[in-house]
A and B are shown apart, each in its own frame.
Chain A
Amino acid sequence: DAGVIQSPRHEVTEMGQEVTLRCKPISGHNSLFWYRQTMMRGLELLIYFNNNVPIDDSGMPEDRFSAKMPNASFSTLKIQPSEPRDSAVYFCASSPTSGGTDTQYFGPGTRLTVL
């Protein structure tokens, strides 16, 4: 299996622009997670999907962030408008079972820089 696929790997944008991050989970996995990692705050869970349905979005920082999962093989995380403090590495992870109590498999991440 190809593992979790994320695109783009690097994104540099200017403040105020819209940013869309993409994720393809491992085929057959029921759970999908979006995380953000920074030096100051570590690895933070943003949102969790189970069978394509958002279950917990309490980690989404504010209304500028939105996430969708239109089908089992694709998810997006959108930031509109972007701000410099959004600069971070964004990871997508998938897990074979519901609830995420099983192993999570991470994608390579998208390194976002907002100027």
Chain B
Amino acid sequence: RKEVEQDPGPFNVPEGATVAFNCTYSNSASQSFFWYRQDCRKEPKLLMSVYSSGNEDGRFTAQLNRASQYISLLIRDSKLSDSATYLCVVNMGFGKSTFGDGTTLTVKP
């Protein structure tokens, strides 16, 4: 079993749709959690950190459930510019970061 598993995707949604991604992790001692966004042939960039209390940044909401060991990302009112691959990242400390394989989102007009 992989340490970090994401919805396989791809997700193809119309503009304005709400879409949710999930990610599960296997190590209960994991310390910090993130969602990164990667555009085609570009480097990953931080989208948002994920906290147990949940956090929101505009149209994006991230949630962490430590008991069930999963992380979620909700995108509301999807824009064409949201089309990208979304990577779930789990960090164990001591530099041990594990990236999920990513979920590809395509938002269509």
B96 touches A48 (CB 8 A): yes
A109 in contact with B32 (CB, 8 Å) = no
Size range of the chain A interface in the assembly:
20 to 34
- A34 → chain B closest CB, angstroms: 11
**Minimum CB–CB distance for B32 against chain A, Å:** 4
Chain A residues touching B, majority SS: strand
- Closest Cβ of chain A to B41, distance in Å, is 8
Taking a contact as CB atoms under 8 Å apart, the answer to whether B95 and A100 are in contact is yes
Chain B interface residue count, CB cutoff 8 Å, equals: 21
Compute how far the CA of A112 lies from the CA of B40 in the bound complex, rounded to whole angstroms. 16
Q: Contacts of B45 on A, CB cut-off 8 Å?
A: 106
- Stretch of B11-19, B57-65, B70-78, B98-106 contacting A (4+ beta carbons < 8 Å): B98-106
Give A10 Cβ to nearest chain B Cβ, in Å.
11
Interface 1/0 per residue, B76-107 and A, CB below 8 Å? 00000000000100010111111111100000
Contact B97 A100 (CB under 8 A): yes
- B44's partner among A43, A55, A99, A100 (CB-CB below 8 A) is A43
Q: Closest residue to B87 on the A side, CB-wise?
A: A43
Say yes or no: A101-B87 contact (C-beta < 8 A), given A45-B98, A56-B96. no
Query: Could you tell me the distance between the alpha carbons of A43 and B4 in the complex, rounded to whole angstroms?
Result: 12
Chain A nearest CB, measured from B17 CB (Å): 26
